[in-house]
Amino acid sequence: MSQSPSSSPSQYTWAGRFSEPMSDLVKRYTASVDFDKRMWRQDIRGSLAHARMLAKQSIISAEDLADIQRGMAQIVGEIEAGSFEWSLDLEDVHLNIEKRLTTLVGDAGKRLHTGRSRNDQVATDIRLYLRDSIDDILVLLGQFQSNLLDLAEREAATPMPGFTHLQVAQPITFGHHLMAWFEMTRRDAERFADVRKRTNRLPLGAAALAGTTYPIDREFVAAELGFDGVCENSLDAVSDRDFAIEFCAASALLMMHFSRMSEELVLWMNPRFGFVKIADRFCTGSSIMPQKKNPDVPELARGKTGRVYGHLTSLLTLMKGQPLAYNKDNQEDKEPLFDAVDTVTDTLRIYAEMISGITARPDNMRDALRQGFATATDLADYLTRKGLPFRDAHEAVGLAVRRAEELGVDLPQLSLDELQQFSSLVGEDIFTVLTVEGSLASRNHIGGTAPDQVRAAIVRARARL
Ligand code: ARG
């Protein structure tokens, strides 16, 4: 009881082998077109390169190639115009496009799949899609970094407390803090560029799993599609998704960094800190409390980090039990991957803008500095320079801090007499050491918080961008 190809499209592709149609539930369960249609550009790009190779190798005729190109051009137009009819019956993006091509150009459309399988086709599409996404991400990351550097430059000498254990530790500049963010994202960019290298290899030619009997030219297809080379084992080419896992790992780390920045912004926006203002267009109000201005964007970035971690775990788990070569499990790679791409892309886009909408509130930063004995280490270093062993200096300063706390003042407000009670080595020059500006300027080496060093770091960073 064979079905005619036109009566049931879902049976069209493999009808020969089957004696009854697929149930609707199975159709819905196995279809991926709802989410993989977003790779349609990559799918067509890959098909056209494959067709050019088939024609070059005389596997199909020049007319077939021309028909395929004409049909694909029309399909691009239909999809862009929104008039293309995606059908669940045709399972995925690959079969939907191939079926439409055949409807439009006849036999040439049926010849396109010569020497190819959906297994190497989908692996190629994902790699192309991911490569495009990585390129977008690197551009957005660059925009964020460039705007971050502008802010860091404006605030290169603005004192704020640096924290350890979220307790005031030592004076730093706001610019220095922002340059820590820059370094975090610089490594993120390196990681994505590195993932790109291993992503950018061509699976096509692996066919279903073992290669193909046609005289194909894989290097030609690789060059046409801008791949750096071909995947060198057909089984590996169609089956592994380690590049997607790496992408999610790089994404998880990037989101971890943005989540940490977000946490700081949330704290700094709190009136108890009051270190920064975030432009109103990135904040929201409360439906009940009229006074509220909430840092929703950083909070959401912090929240969305969790889903990206989840995607990494999903993909690792997806791969771990799969024997070579292709298994349908792999169809489940797309939703986590696409969502990771979307989340990272959106987060970067919004952060690139938001960072330009952040203004420092230097007075509050300085107030906070006065409350935490931030120059205590400077006093200890001073005594050490005068010959006191550092451990003894540490103890003497500890006593001085206790005294200042009793009096309710900061260290520089103690009199010379009082300071000398803790060490006779203290001289008049101590008061320059205990100022915030003195403390900052003295950390004057690469990686240190001295404003000159921060400015030098910004110059180096700009040169690298
Ligand atoms: N939609 C499938 C996927 O995403 C395409 C490959 C199907 N291959 C197969 N042998 N059923 O993995």
Residue 247 and residue 337 in contact, taking contact as beta carbons nearer than 8 Å? yes
Q: Which atom of ligand 1 is nearest to the CA of 93?
A: 1
Question: In whole angstroms, what separates CA 14 from the centre of its chain?
Answer: 40
What tens digit of pLDDT does each residue of 202-234 get?
Answer: 999 999 999 999 999 999 999 999 999 999 999
Instruction: State the distance from the centre of ligand 1 to the C-alpha of 444, rounded, in angstroms.
Output: 59
On the CB side of 129, CA atoms within 13 Å amount to 25
Instruction: State the distance from the centre of ligand 1 to the C-alpha of 336, rounded, in angstroms.
Output: 16
Helical axes 118-154 vs 451-464, angle rounded to 10°: 150
Looking at the predicted structure, is the pLDDT value of residue 1 above 70? no
Q: Which domains does the chain have, with CATH numbers?
A: 23-114 (1.10.275.10), 119-215+226-366 (1.20.200.10), 372-464 (1.10.40.30)
In the block, tokens 């003042």 appear at: 409
Looking at the predicted structure, is the pLDDT value of residue 12 above 90? no
The mean per-residue pLDDT over the stretch 325-343 comes to 98
Which of 43, 91, 92, 209 is the best mutation target for the ligand 1 pocket, counting ligand atoms within 8 Å of the beta carbon and taking the most? Answer: 92
Please tell me the predicted confidence (pLDDT) of residue 5. Answer: 43
> Does any ligand 1 atom lie closer than 6 A to the CB of residue 119?
yes
In the block, tokens 């990559």 appear at: 42
What tens digit of pLDDT does each residue of 34-47 get?
Answer: 999 999 999 999 99
* Residues tagged active-site: 165, 286
Please tell me the predicted confidence (pLDDT) of residue 225. Answer: 98
Looking at the predicted structure, is the pLDDT value of residue 287 above 90? no
Percent over 90 (pLDDT), the chain? 91
Which of 43, 121, 122 is the best mutation target for the ligand 1 pocket, counting ligand atoms within 8 Å of the beta carbon and taking the most? Answer: 122
Percent over 70 (pLDDT), the chain? 97
> Does any ligand 1 atom lie closer than 6 A to the CB of residue 348?
no
Angstrom CA distances, 128 to 124, 248, 318, 408, stand at: 6, 16, 21, 64
The mean per-residue pLDDT over the stretch 136-140 comes to 98
